[in-house]
Amino acid sequence: MIKAMRLYNYLIYRIYYFYIDIIKENDLPFFITSIVITILVFFNIFSIYGFIVNLYKIYLINEIFYLISIWILIFIFNYIIIVKPGYFLEMNFNKTKKGTLGVLLYILLSIVLFIIVAEINRSNT
């Protein structure tokens, strides 16, 4: 669990510094980082949800209103509890090539997994 939280914080750290160093975003870096991390986490959750739906035919979210509500709740949690306090800045992370590769691989896998689950669901609709 601690290891998973550390990995999650490293992901936040890399996204945060992507906006600071490359995009030169100095006004709302915490806010934008929270949005990006929420999108990634949401797609992971949605992929798992889609997998369960296809496997057990249990439908929990049928309306877009609930979907957006869940998204906003995850965003608020990420922003207030995890990103804004800036714990990830105190964890002595370094920007390594291995870390960059890991983050890119995670983003790529998240996209691929979501597309696979979505395509399965589309073919069943």
Partner 1 sequence: MNECSLQNTLWHFIIGAELHVSITEWNSVTRGKGLNPDPKFITFKIAGNPTVLTTTWKSIGNVFKGAGYLGNGVGFTVTGYQYYTGQISSTEAFVDSMFGVVGFMGPVGLGISATYFVGKLGYEYFSGETLFVKPQLVVDD
Report, in Å, the least distance between residue 118 CB and partner 1: 4
Report, in Å, the least distance between residue 106 CB and partner 1: 16
Nearer to partner 1, 24 or 97 (CB): 24
Q: Site residues (CB under 8 A) for partner 1? A: 23-25, 27-28, 31-32, 35-36, 38-39, 42-43, 46, 50, 64, 67-68, 71-72, 75, 114, 117-118, 121-122, 125
Chain-centroid distance of CA 16 in Å reads 13
How many residues are given for the chain? 125
Report, in Å, the least distance between residue 101 CB and partner 1: 20
